[in-house]
Chains A and B, each alone.
Chain A
Amino acid sequence: GDSVTQMEGPVTLSEEAFLTINCTYTATGYPSLFWYVQYPGEGLQLLLKATKADDKGSNKGFEATYRKETTSFHLEKGSVQVSDSAVYFCALSVTGGGNKLTFGTGTQLKVEL
């Protein structure tokens, strides 16, 4: 079956530090890949996505590149802010599988001054 593995948290960084959250996947078909963010007490928001190999998704300074050869979609940001503190979820969706999202376990990020 389809699955997503992401690094365990929590991750604690100082403001302006570089962020990487690792994500790898296994899929029976050709998946689209997503990063969702959940701020405290809120629902999930799409942060970025990529639908084919070598695509780079980007938003709000965050980036992730769809690497088919390593089945990875690592999230990066060059300089984090306190407002980036949230839980980040890597997810995949395979067309024909009902388009459901299969999520990783989530990685909590805490950014301190």
Chain B
Amino acid sequence: DTAVSQTPKYLVTQMGNDKSIKCEQNLGHDTMYWYKQDSKKFLKIMFSYNNKELIINETVPNRFSPKSPDKAHLNLHINSLELGDSAVYFCASQDTAGSYEQYFGPGTRLTVT
């Protein structure tokens, strides 16, 4: 069973479109994250949710809106896509009751043309 899954794995779209990336974890963790990895492999936190509540928003443009319908899911919706949004987006979940290790999904490669 996949612990943290993301869909889609690849997403190619045009500037100005709106798209969503979905993330699900079956680990029973309370905390989930979105990270962005740019073309130089640099990873930066975007958002964090704990039990469906937003706890971190790292000055991400408001075109990005995370949504957590329940603690096992954290989706990322992006409005009015721009060229600079092209990146790999990683979802992660965290065991805050134990080791604090973060488990990462396989990533979604977003290409905006």
| Real binding pair | yes
Binding site for B on A (CB under 8 A): 32, 36, 38, 42-46, 49, 87, 89, 93, 95, 98-103, 105-106, 108
Number of interchain pairs (Cβ within 8 Å): 55
A87 touches B41 (CB 8 A): yes
Q: From residue B68, how far is it (CB to closest CB) to chain A in Å?
A: 15
Q: Which residue of B lies closest to A51 (CB)?
A: B100
The contact size tier of chain B is 20 to 34
Which of these binds chain A: B12-20, B69-77, B101-109? Answer: B101-109
Can you list 11 pairs linking A and B with CB atoms under 8 Å apart?
A36-B104, A42-B107, A43-B4, A43-B90, A44-B43, A45-B104, A46-B102, A49-B99, A101-B102, A105-B41, A106-B42
Chain A CB within 8 A of B55 CB = yes
C-alpha gap A108/B41 in the complex (Å):
10
In the complex where A43-B105, A44-B90, A98-B55 touch, is A93 in contact with B41 (Cβ < 8 A)?
Answer: no
List residues of chain B with CB within 8 A of the CB of A32: 100
